[in-house]
Amino acid sequence: MATEYLVKLFQTQRAENLAEAIDKYEEYFHRCKIEEANAQMVAQQQEQTAHLASIKTSSKISAAANVTNTIFNISRHI
């Protein structure tokens, strides 16, 4: 991949010498790493959002069950 990128830099005349080409490759590589890290963070945030939605649903179900149990217990004592 690095070799292909360096060759492309010369073919497209975006680099005049090897040092400049290597510099541009390092910038490109760094940008790729940053984008990869950002994608991982987005994926984690989406996973956490889904987990929180699941917790919210479970909490509502639990609250409804508690109300039902309370009503049942009160009705047994009447």
What are the structural domain ranges in the chain? 2-76
Evaluate whether 21 touches 15 at the Cβ level (below 8 Å): yes
The sign one gets for the Cα dihedral 43, 45, 51, 54 is negative
Averaged confidence pLDDT in the chain: 93
Predicted model pTM: 0.63
The pLDDT of residue 13 is 95
**Confidence check: pLDDT of 15 > 80:** yes
**Confidence check: pLDDT of 78 > 80:** no
Other Cβ atoms closer than 10 A to 18: 11
Q: Helices in the chain by DSSP H: which ranges?
A: 2-11, 18-76
